[in-house]
Homo-oligomer: A and B are copies of this chain.
Amino acid sequence: MKSFNPPKRLLLGPGPSNLSPRVSNAMSQSVLGHLDPDFVGMMDEVKAGLQYVMRTENPVTLAISGPGSAAMEMAIVNMIEPGEKAIICQNGYFSSRMREMIVRNASIPVDVIFEWGKAIDLTVLEDTIEAHPDAKVVCVVFAETSTGVQADLKSIADLCHKYNRFLVADAVPALGGSVIKVDEWGIDVLFSGSQKCLSCTPGVSPITFSDRAVERIKNRNQKVMNWFYDISSMLGYWGGNQKRTYHHTAPIHSLYALHETLCMIQEEGIENRWKRHVEVRDYAHQKFAEIGLNTLVPKEIQMPQLHPVLVPEGMDDLVIRKTLLNEFGIELGAGLGPFAGKIWRIGFMGENAHTSNVDFLVNALQQILVKY
């Protein structure tokens, strides 16, 4: 066993994205105890930074030690009790995962199913909400990385308010790239990952709960079926002004990294960052078109940070991706489920959302595609 020296890659898939040297450097700083006054002071700033990026003042805003999927499961098991119904919009891989979590939790999924790659039809959703007054929670994937489709989250939130439901939204690839306004739109629970448009190390996942959601959790009939996922007990550590009490050992260095990336987002300004992602998407659309590449979904429903590009007729998905990786050091994402081998998932996320990366990729693809 020898020290590992990773090769340099440009990660243009669905995440992780590349880290700024500032963020990488933050991770090599010296360790602090998880109850050290300096460390918990930094945690307060992480919370404030997350509130800024999420556009919320929710006091219950934190980053959990685990991947985005653990944050997803935390949202589900806190908001939905066993035996309760929940509406789950499904149009891709990650909404299926959320459904699976609802089932595992012994809750009852009320399915609203659309084809992969299609948008969530608001009329169908409204009909379902109306038909199930006992389904108090609506779950939706805001930006579905398996297809590139972004939901109209604001309108879905409006529907939830109209029928007095709670909205749980997956923003794993969205946060820091797509426009998100938790408070203005009235989203009850929103979670994300760190390694996509935040360009941080994976394994520390932001989540926020509205006061209304916290109230619902306080009034549960039974405890959450997990110790670690139970937000009520985690709040002693992350909760805010009162004395921090031990819950688990926080991922110290990953939180340093998150802190630094949040600093950088504040410096850039969140609106500027949203704008940058849209500009790069539009530029990429134009450049892809120039070399004859098409996308799976219409631009109107595509998220800014990820392109579901159709593998050109007659080309071998795997051969092209391997060549890109080995000859150019570029990683693209493979298709999932029905789109395996049929699309590339090309992301320009966070640190990688720059037109120069579009140019570099398009140039590389041009050189490769003529060969095969």
Show the binding face of A for B, using Cβ within 8 Å: 1-9, 11, 13, 15-19, 22, 24-34, 36, 38-39, 42, 45, 48-49, 65-70, 73, 77, 97, 100-101, 104-106, 193, 195, 201-204, 223-230, 246, 248-254, 256-257, 259-260, 262-263, 266, 325, 331, 336
State A293–B69 Cα separation when bound (angstroms).
47
Min CB gap A92→B, angstroms = 14
Check B104–A202 contact: CB distance below 8 A: no
State A17–B201 Cα separation when bound (angstroms).
21
Task: Provide 20 A-B residue pairs closer than 8 Å at the C-beta atoms, listed in order of the A residue.
Answer: A4-B26, A4-B256, A6-B38, A6-B42, A8-B30, A9-B30, A16-B252, A18-B30, A19-B30, A24-B28, A28-B28, A31-B201, A34-B202, A68-B248, A73-B226, A73-B228, A203-B203, A203-B250, A203-B251, A225-B225
A38-B6, A42-B4 in contact; A201/B251 too (CB < 8 A)?
yes
Q: Which chain B positions have C-beta within 8 A of A257?
A: 253
Q: Which chain B positions have C-beta within 8 A of A251?
A: 67, 201-203, 251, 254
Min CB gap A37→B, angstroms = 8
A204-B203, A331-B33 in contact; A266/B69 too (CB < 8 A)?
no
Check A249–B38 contact: CB distance below 8 A: no
Contacts beyond the supplied A68-B248, A201-B252: 9 A-B pairs with Cβ under 8 Å = A4-B26, A4-B260, A7-B38, A9-B36, A16-B34, A67-B250, A70-B70, A225-B226, A226-B226
* The 5 A-B residue pairs with the shortest CB-CB distance in the complex, in nearest-first order: A203-B251, A28-B28, A67-B248, A27-B27, A202-B249
Q: Which chain B positions have C-beta within 8 A of A259?
A: 1, 3-4
Q: Which chain B positions have C-beta within 8 A of A45?
A: 1, 4
A5-B29, A249-B195, A251-B202 in contact; A67/B69 too (CB < 8 A)?
no
Of the listed residues A18, A29, A257, A336, the one surrounded by the most CB atoms of chain B closer than 10 A to its CB is A29
A6-B256, A225-B105, A248-B69 in contact; A30/B24 too (CB < 8 A)?
yes
Check A25–B26 contact: CB distance below 8 A: no
State A28–B26 Cα separation when bound (angstroms).
8
State A153–B340 Cα separation when bound (angstroms).
48
Of the listed residues A16, A19, A24, A228, the one surrounded by the most CB atoms of chain B closer than 10 A to its CB is A228
